[in-house]
Amino acid sequence: MSEAFDRLTAPFDPVAFVRGNLPWEGIVSTSALPRVAEAVVTASDLSWQVFPERTKEGRAASRFVVTGTLSLICPRCLEVVAWPVALERLVVWYRTAAAVPDEELEEADWDARVLDESVTLAELLEEELLLAWPQGPLHETCSLPGPAEAGAPFLPFSFLR
């Protein structure tokens, strides 16, 4: 547990990680991820795994997997709703921003990152989580009538006119 915690808060070295060729895993509380902590109703634990990989070109890459359940507020009905987290994302590491080919930035299924940033695993997990964050209403059908279902505006005193 403490080993996993150190891995989360120490600067992440993706090249050494790929060289080590062993996956890492652990549990992180949302309270350790400040921007996620702000967006959830109650703190909960998430399971995380990172797998070392190499691209065809031999670049260091890390596959992030995060699973768990977060309690969020549905923006339409403002009720609490459980968001099942099932995130899997590949990050490919480049030495410089200039080394990232433009067309690769447009790829949707993986992220390009520059090696010379000092970033912790906790920060990386948080960023990947925020990129996957649900947009719009979280319920397919909200239990409370939202603006879309309310129909004509309610005018309580219209009969006085």
* Interface with Zn ion (CB under 5 A): 74, 76-77, 139, 142
Q: Which is nearer to Zn ion, 15 or 41 (CB)?
A: 41
Neighbours of 59 (CB within 10 A): 18
Q: Which is nearer to Zn ion, 76 or 113 (CB)?
A: 76
Least spacing, CB of residue 134 vs Zn ion, in Å = 11
Runs of H (alpha helix) within 1-138: 2-9, 14-20, 34-39, 102-105, 121-131
Q: Is 115 exposed, middle or buried (0-12, 13-18, 19+ CB in 10 A)?
A: middle
Q: Which is nearer to Zn ion, 11 or 145 (CB)?
A: 145
Least spacing, CB of residue 41 vs Zn ion, in Å = 13
**The amino acid at 7:** R
Least spacing, CB of residue 152 vs Zn ion, in Å = 22
